[in-house]
Amino acid sequence: MYITVNIYDHSNNTPSPDIVCAFNIREIFTNGKWSYQMPETTEFKYNNELIERLVPRKTEVDTAIMTKINEPLNSSDGRKFVSNPRLKIGYDDVLDKPIVRWETV
């Protein structure tokens, strides 16, 4: 299944996403169970600049997004996520890392 995930900055309320990634969901059969995954080769299209603190950490941002996408794909909310693949990205000053969350609308 091919999906397009739209990712928005926490402070940005524009209708167009800040980051977009599109991919075919990988299906993996291991130990008698199916799991689903975003391909590691998926490319991210950055429509806007990241907040200043995240610019030098783009790889970390990409990894955080991939991790957050793989979570709902393998949960009971997988169908819900695929029908509305929208994420919000921000920065946690205390943890000093990017924070990505699934935006349920």
Q: What span, in angstroms and rounded, lies between the C-alpha atoms of 39 and 4? A: 13
Residue linked to tokens 């009971």: 76
Q: How would you class 3 by CB atoms within 10 Å of its CB: exposed for 0-12, middle for 13-18, buried for 19 or more?
A: middle
> How confident is the model at residue 14, as a pLDDT?
67
Return per-residue pLDDT of the chain as tens, 105 residues.
999 999 988 765 667 899 999 999 999 999 999 999 999 999 999 998 877 788 888 899 999 999 999 999 999 988 899 998 999 988 888 988 889 998 765
Please tell me what DSSP assigns to residue 39: -
The answer to whether 32 and 50 have CB atoms below 8 angstroms apart is no
